[in-house]
Copies of this chain bind each other. A is one copy, B any other.
Amino acid sequence: MIVGRLALVGTGLIGGSFALALKQAGAVREVVGVGRNPARLTVARELGLIDRVVDWAGAGQADCILLALPVGETETVLAQLAPHLKPGAVVTDAGSTKAGVVAAARAALGARFADFVPGHPIAGSEQSGPGAARADLYRGKRVVLTPDADTRAEAVATVRALWEAAGAQVETLDAALHDRIFAAVSHLPHLAAYALVDELARRADGGLFFRYAASGFRDFTRIAGSSPDMWRDIALANREALLAEIDAYLAALRSLREAVDSRDGAALHAIFSRARKAREDWFKTQDV
**Chain A residues within 8 Å of B, Cβ to Cβ:** 72, 122-125, 141-142, 144, 181-182, 184-186, 188-202, 206, 208-210, 212-226, 228-229, 231-233, 235-236, 239, 242-243, 246-257, 259-261, 263, 265, 268-269, 271-283, 285-286, 288
Contact = CB atoms under 8 A, between A and B. Distances in A.
A271 to B, nearest CB: 5
A225 B282 CA distance: 11
Nearest to A144: B212
Q: How many copies does the complex hold?
A: 2
B257 A250 contact: yes
A184 B202 contact: no
A224 B212 CA distance: 20
Contact of A192 (B186, B192, B232): B192
Contacts of A195: 249, 252-253, 255-256, 271, 275
B214 A219 contact: no
A209 B241 CA distance: 13
B269 A218 contact: no
Given A123-B214, A189-B216, A271-B195, A201 B278 contact: yes
